[in-house]
């Protein structure tokens, strides 16, 4: 009995040490600073994409006016809560432009690292404001973007590669626990996202048959390469389909291994770019490539 008790005591101590090392080993925030810049650039591109047709999108008589929002999202509208989780609900085109340009400045400030603690939190509010204003057109890309910003709010991501650090408005990039917690949370969240992606695909017949990308290529939106290119190349199309699936499976396991991590990240980047070429839409592929950056320096070395 003494030996059994000693075994479980040792096992408990070992698991506790590994748990604390995984979550709380102090590390620098340099990786999170790189991620902040990449996420900020993505958020800017996405937010600025509304600019040419801002009034047509959100104006009082626009495509997504308040009436459409209430009919589609709030049907019937609640009595005590308007459901408007966005500051973009306004009937004034001038005010809408002011809010839009102010949002751009907030995202730009976060990207450059100006008062990063504050502007990162405000940037999350900006992204959520646009998502809640236009939930009809929100995709998985916006979900991943909001997730990354939410965890960056926990991290001292302005301690390096920022104007804050350049002008010494923040403390130097010394190893800290919050950087570790934020990066680990993003890594775990991203891994769970890949698990859901893989589970969704393996229960689909077209992915088992290797025909998934063929059905993607024949969509009208897939204009970068026509489906005629692969009409007589079923083997190549099958290999492409299985390669995409395999790269997503590899992102569940391989990034946690120091020596296999670079291979997994490179293969995943090429895989997501190929998906963007197939679909003609690079929003989600680019967001996932940026999200994969959370595994840079995953061992804290």
Return the domain boundaries, the chain: 27-175, 187-301
Contact 60, 19 (CB under 8 A): no
What pLDDT score does 124 carry?
96
Q: How far is CA 160 from CA 14, 31, 42, 113, in A?
A: 34, 9, 19, 9
What pLDDT score does 216 carry?
81
What pLDDT score does 51 carry?
94
Contact 260, 287 (CB under 8 A): no
What pTM was computed for the model?
0.88
What pLDDT score does 229 carry?
66
Ranges of the chain with pLDDT below 50? 77-82, 301
Q: What crossing angle do the helices spanning 283-291 and 177-202 adopt, rounded to 10°?
A: 140
Where on the phi/psi map is residue 281: left (φ > 0), alpha (ψ -120 to 50), or beta?
beta
Q: What crossing angle do the helices spanning 30-48 and 283-291 adopt, rounded to 10°?
A: 170
pLDDT digits (tens, 9 = 90+) for 258-267: 999 999 999 9
């Amino acid at each position: 009995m003494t030996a059994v008790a000693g075994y479980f005591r040792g096992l408990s101590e070992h698991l506790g040490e590994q748990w604390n090392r995984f979550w709380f080993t102090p590390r620098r925030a340099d990786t999170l600073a790189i991620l902040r810049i990449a996420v900020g650039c993505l958020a800017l591109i996405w937010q600025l994409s509304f600019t040419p047709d801002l009034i047509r999108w959100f104006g009082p008589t626009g495509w997504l006016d308040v009436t459409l929002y209430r009919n589609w999202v709030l049907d019937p509208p609640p009595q005590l809560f308007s459901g408007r989780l966005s500051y973009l609900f306004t009937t004034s085109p001038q005010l809408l432009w002011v809010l839009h340009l102010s949002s751009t400045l907030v995202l730009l400030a976060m990207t450059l690292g100006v008062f990063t603690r504050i502007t990162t939190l405000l940037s999350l509010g900006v992204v959520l404001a646009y998502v809640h204003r236009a939930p009809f057109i929100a995709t998985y890309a916006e979900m991943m973007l909001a997730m990354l910003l939410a965890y960056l709010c926990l991290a001292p991501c302005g301690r390096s590669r920022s104007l804050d650090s350049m002008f010494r408005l923040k403390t130097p990039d010394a190893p800290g626990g919050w950087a570790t917690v934020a990066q680990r949370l993003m890594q775990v969240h991203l891994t769970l996202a890949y698990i859901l992606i893989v589970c969704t695909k393996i229960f689909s017949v077209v992915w088992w048959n290797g025909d998934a990308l063929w059905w993607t290529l024949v969509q009208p939106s897939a204009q970068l390469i026509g489906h005629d290119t692969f009409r007589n190349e079923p083997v190549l199309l099958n290999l492409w389909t299985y390669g995409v699936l395999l790269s997503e499976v590899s992102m569940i396991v391989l990034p946690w291994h120091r020596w296999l991590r670079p291979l997994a990240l490179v293969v995943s980047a090429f895989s997501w770019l190929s998906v963007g070429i197939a679909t003609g839409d690079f929003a989600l592929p680019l967001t996932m490539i940026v999200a994969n950056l959370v595994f840079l320096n995953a061992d804290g070395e």
